[in-house]
Every structure is written in C-alpha cells, then in structure tokens.
Chains A and B, each alone.
Chain A
Amino acid sequence: QVQLQESGPGLVKPSGTLSLTCAVSGGSISSSNWWSWIRQPPGKGLEWIGEIYHSGSTNYNPSLKSRVTISVDKSKNQFSLKLSSVTAADTAVYYCAIHLTSSSTSWFDPWGQGTLVTVSS
C-alpha cells in the first residue's frame, strides 16, 4: 500500500519561500496518478493547492498559481512544493495526497500525515 510522508521546515519567515517534500513509499511516483498538495489553516477547512503528474504536467489553484511550483523527482520517488512570498495567511498544515482517477471521476486517497508550517519572524 502506498504511503506518503511530508517533510520540511516547520517555520518560515514572512516573504520567504515555503519548501516541502512528499516521499512516496510502497509504490512508484511514475504510476498513473496525480500527486497533490492540500493545506488546512489551523481550525479551518481544506484548500487544494495543486498537483503534478510524473511527466511533469501540473495543475494549480488559480488563487495560488502565481506563487506555487510543484515538481517531481522520479529518481528519489518524491514530489515537492514551493510557495513563495509567504505571509501569516499561509500558516497551515500541509498535506500531500494521491489524486486517484477512475472512469472520469477522482478522489484524494491516501493522504500523508500532514506537516504544520508556521509563517512568523
């Protein structure tokens, strides 16, 4: 069974760049899935950030598109998130997840455990 694990700094300074990595185990990142990032501010709901296919194709949330870059490293079986020009509003638990597709529909499963990133000086 595929498992995902997020890693990266838990504290980022305002105006800096948030960088996270999601390590994939139990499966190949070159499989026919989209690999997604989703975030959740403390006490709030879920926001889809974007996704990447192993070919490098990406989809981003328009609300974040100007600041987001998602990349894939097939040699390390992992994918990464960079979010630039961060502010306190970017403080959240960041999850990576598989965006499974089947018969034109799709869903997120499984998810990583999540990692809290705080934006503060």
Chain B
Amino acid sequence: DIQMTQSPSSLSASVGDRVTITCRASQSISSYLNWYQQKPGKAPKLLIYAASSLQSGVPSRFSGSGSGTDFTLTISSLQPEDFATYYCQQSYSTPRTFGQGTRLEIK
C-alpha cells in the first residue's frame, strides 16, 4: 500500500493568513493526488484533484501543487469557513489511501 503522510497534523492560524499543508507519498504517484476538506459532522468535500486542478465551485484561494512524492495545499488568505480538517488521497493505485489529516484551527 502507498502510505500518505501529512504535515503538520494540526495547525493554528488566523483569518487572512497564508497556510500551507504538505502531503508526502511513500512512493512516486505522479500527479495522482487529491485534497479534501472535512468539517465536523460532514462528509469530506473535494477541493483539488490531479494535484493542482481546482474543483468547480471551490474558491480560488485554494491551490495545489507538486508531483512525484511531495505535494502541497495552499490557502492564500484564510477565511472563517476554512477552519476544518484537510485530507490528501492518492489515486495512483489500489487500495486508495488517505493521509491522516491536518486539523486547521483558529488562533
């Protein structure tokens, strides 16, 4: 199985901050990397697919980059509704695997 490791596991930030979350794969996955946002009691929501493609309807302050084993999710200017948990997921091979999550909290 491909292991996905996110860092940090939790992060405190303020509204307006620029935030970067990192995801590392245990082997090269090309650009087969997706990012999801999950709020408490809700299902995950797709933000970014294929490492850098913004899902329709997702604000442009979200962006993704990377290829191979190292990927980043960046939020350019945090908004109150962005405080949530973020997960990366590889779509390179089965079983599909997720990172352990990064909890983004209000400072």
Contact = CB atoms under 8 A, between A and B. Distances in A.
B34 A108 contact: yes
A62 B96 CA distance: 11
Interface in B32-65: 32, 34, 36, 42-46, 49-50, 55
* Main SS class of interface, B: loop
B98 A113 contact: no
Q: Which of A63, A105, A112 has the most CB of B within 10 A?
A: A105
Nearest to A112: B43
Interface in A62-121: 62-63, 95, 97, 99, 105-114
* Main SS class of interface, A: strand
Contacts of B44: 46, 95, 108, 111
Given A48-B95, A61-B95, A105-B50, A95 B55 contact: no
Interface of B: 1, 31-32, 34, 36, 42-46, 49-50, 55, 87, 89, 91, 94-101
